[in-house]
Amino acid sequence: MNIVGITACPTGIAHTYMAQSALEKAGKKLGHKVMIETQGAMGIENELKKKQIESSDVVILAVGCAIEREERFNGKKILKVGVAEAISNPQKVLEQAEKLMTQEV
């Protein structure tokens, strides 16, 4: 699967990056391509390009606060989870994304 997503926590420091790392590592382990944009204290980092979003199978929003430019994902299958869930059980999050991908929008 080709997965894109955003991680963001209220303070935008540690948990944002921990969730990004956990999802990317679990994705690699499961054979998925995972690209994660972070939104936090430093603003938007690793900003997803339009082409990356368009070619994605599913979008994971691992967030604990409002994010910027969420409308970029209109029409895509979106899985919303908490930042803590992405950190503590990233494989489960990716399995949920796999199930979502097989469902009709």
Residue 42 confidence (pLDDT): 86
Catalytic residue check, 65: no
Could you read off the pLDDT tens digit of each residue along the chain, which spans 105 residues?
Answer: 999 999 999 887 899 999 999 999 999 999 999 999 999 888 999 999 999 999 999 999 999 999 999 999 999 999 999 999 999 999 999 999 999 988 865
pTM of the model: 0.94
β-bridge mates for residue 60, sequence order: 5, 79
Measured CA to CA, the distance from residue 25 to residue 53 in angstroms comes to: 20
Annotated active-site residue in 9, 22, 26, 97: 9
| Pair of tokens at residue 53 | 């979003």
pLDDT at 41: 84
Sequence-ordered alpha helix ranges (H) in the chain: 14-30, 50-54, 83-88, 90-101
Query: What is the structure's pLDDT at 59?
Result: 98
